[in-house]
A and B are shown apart, each in its own frame.
Chain A
């Protein structure tokens, strides 16, 4: 099956600034794909290039297998939900939604039927005759969504679609977007800087940084096996340690770090490692468990002091000191009251063997 969007070696410069350097990716038909990255990483520029609102300096862009480079925005089978919604302020909700169909000279009766259907789908039928200025942020978001999907595009582009909304509404709309995408069966490409949003909604995620794609994968791959420091810290958080291989077995390796010697399972990133090689290892804070000094068993038990603890309701975050290194650990508050590891407490931390992630850089 051909890709919904195929981007090959796209370069885009604004003056001296390279917004996109040699970006390639493929988005499948019917996929919810997120472009995730900090502001200025080029994710919005890539989205605008796909929309036809910006043009690449070099590289190819195929939409449904057709070279779209020379197709102007208004003829591309894609529609955009803009970050600021960009609703037409002088038109009613129904006329905003009908705009695209009017431009395509669709018959009046068909426009009416399609607008009604879409308004029903995103639950804004009651707002039909309102003007954008009379709508709340969430309602405007729905109108922007309806205005785009009524055109039945092959790809829907969403630029920070939930960025301007409050947390509760954002959660609600995340699920609505997901179910809408499944119902329509078209590809969604969503630009966001919110890692949780990307992890929740997407089939696949591309993490971008300074104009390059760092890694592409589904939520679990990206979180459990980040390949670079940037990905490990942008998606969730990670303790980074300098490490060196002491000896490498078939499935495990012994490594030396500043907190002590550790045993790790050889994950997908570790195959190429040679003995004595230096590298960085990432440890997710929630994988680190604390136990009383005498209760820790297994190879990766290390003595630590609790230097700080932050209670955040469902979890407690610990800052642990082991030698000269500090590490972050997170634990669910299963018991009520004190979790037993108070400030200044000495305990043992345990790092599971498969909780050590080898990074490439």
Chain B
């Protein structure tokens, strides 16, 4: 055995020792459940909510609206509604996080830490508690509910809760830190000389932002949108507690199938479809990012 092969073998042993446990962990707790979900999604629900080993595409057909009673767009509507909610949440988070992140990065260094801590503090509170807090804040007769009626965001005869507006408030509140943190990191790295160059070359404030600042914070912006959009797509506690029964989301639908309806195959189909969409989005983004030679974020 040459010294070369001994060294190679030693490297192999070392690397399997160090990365081995991680690989086993990922296989056991990520890959196996994922494959199970995929497999179950092609099986059939039994009489009593058990799983029968009969291969079928029916779960997916039903999901896209072709059920046993003919075409019914119930689930496609849920998909669209979930995408709108996730996209809307991401958009509102961008609008709220951009000024906030710029504000924090312009603070004197000793206040930056405090400001960032304030952004992160909600993480320390359980999501359920924060969401129930919104229920109290928006309850009929509360100051906030009177305020939204007074300003006219919500008409007088429509309650502030449950409503789509309440869902958005809860969602933005929950996901804002995921948008602020990557944005802030990008903003801290901005080369302001480039903004000065754009101004020197005739760009006014708006155009300097568009052509010299925005391209520089793009990586942070995209990372933030991904970090908000993906969990927002599957979020079901907030729509459930603040949106009432009318606003069923992908997450709620999945929860129902695994819970009350006892239809695991159908629930798996919905879950797998949602995951597929997200994966496709990430793959597209990675391809575009690589083409532009940007540093990989994922």
Contact = CB atoms under 8 A, between A and B. Distances in A.
Nearest to A100: B201
A103 B196 contact: no
Contacts of B191: 86
Contact of B200 (A51, A88, A131): A51
A100 B211 CA distance: 11
Nearest to B191: A86
Which of A78, A87, A90 has the most chain B CB within a 10 Å cutoff?
A90
Contact of B197 (A52, A88, A104, A131): A88
A127 interface: no
A75 to B, nearest CB: 8
Given A99-B211, A103-B207, A86 B201 contact: no
B202 interface: yes
Contacts of A100: 201-202
A104 B194 contact: no
A74 B194 contact: no
B204 A74 contact: yes
A18 B293 CA distance: 44
A82 B196 contact: yes
B194 to A, nearest CB: 5
Interface residues of B, number: 20
Nearest to A90: B215
Contact of A86 (B193, B204, B292, B293): B193
B203 interface: yes
B203 A103 contact: yes
A141 B211 CA distance: 21
B77 interface: no
A73 B200 contact: yes
Given A99-B211, A103-B207, A86 B194 contact: yes
A80 B197 contact: yes
B199 A88 contact: no
A131 B294 CA distance: 13
Interface residues of A, number: 26
Given A88-B215, A99-B211, A82 B201 contact: no
A53 interface: yes
A74 B212 CA distance: 14
A65 interface: no
B198 interface: yes
Nearest to A98: B201
A80 B198 CA distance: 10
A87 B195 CA distance: 10
A147 interface: yes
Interface in B187-233: 191, 193-194, 196-204, 207-208, 211-212, 215-216
A99 B197 CA distance: 10
A88 B202 contact: no
Contacts of A185: none
B181 to A, nearest CB: 23
Given A82-B193, A86-B191, A90-B215, A104 B200 contact: no
Interface string A46-80: 00000111000000000000000000111100111
Contacts of B202: 74-75, 100, 103-104, 151
B197 A82 contact: yes
A344 interface: no
A78 B193 CA distance: 16
Q: Which of A52, A75, A86, A133: most chain B Cβ within 10 A? A: A86
Interface of A: 51-53, 72-75, 78-80, 82, 84, 86-90, 99-100, 103-104, 131, 133, 147-148, 151
